[in-house]
Amino acid sequence: MKKAIRASVLRTKPVPLIGLLALLAGGCGYHFAASGSGLPPQAKTIYVATFGNHTRFTGLNDEFMRYMKDEIANHKRLTVVDSPDGADLVLSGEVLYNQAIPGATNPVAEPIVYEESLSANATLTDGHNHTIIWISHGLGAAAEAPVVASAAITTSPYFLQQNLRSQDIAQLPDIQVAQTQNGVARTQMMQELAQDLYASMSEGF
């Protein structure tokens, strides 16, 4: 049970129709395959600088960086390197916002579902002449986590991706339901944001 949220994206060139369609589709939880057509054709390596962290959660930026590097590596268009020296591209940015709020309550106003959201700014720079190739502001993603067994939709794709079965989660105490589902939701949220950021960066929208 997840969804992407987006704010304005600054662009260095007009948006082609396919870029607009990708933005709209991303908001519905669908992703176009990122071919890398918006990247400089001669670029082969990328250095991912440590993102700044403007949230109150220590280490959140480091956690997101692992997903970001994995997403870049999975596409095999660019090789992630450990130093900016000689890198063709440099990706930098900042994690702006992270919050979990109640998304649904029971009849006595106790939260049974929480929605966590995450947003970031990012900039792609030419590693040789230091010119900005692409910049994005406020790209974000969110995921919902049930914190009691009765709120879990065990037939949803969100739940079926887990190792739990419906009878398993029904037997867990609420604190374990909350821990497991919050962890899954956070993973999906960070993967979603990394996927959207890579797609936007590599296609130039």
- pLDDT, tens digit, for every residue of 77-110? 999 999 999 999 999 999 999 998 888 888 888 8
Most confident of 6-15, 27-36, 62-71, 142-151: 62-71
DSSP for 156-182 reads SHHHHTSS--HHHHHTS-HHHHHHHHH
In sequence order, the 6+-apart residues with CB closer than 8 A to the CB of 63 are 190
pLDDT tops 70 at residue 44: yes
Give 2-203's CATH code, choosing from 3.30.360.10, 3.40.50.2000, 1.20.1070.10, 3.30.160.150.
3.30.160.150
The reply to whether the predicted model has a pTM over 0.75 is no
Identify the band that residue 141 occupies on the pLDDT scale cut at 50, 70 and 90. Answer: very high
Cα–chain center distance at 128: 28
Residue appearing with tokens 């090789």: 79
Counts for the chain of helices (H) and strands (E), in that order: 5, 7
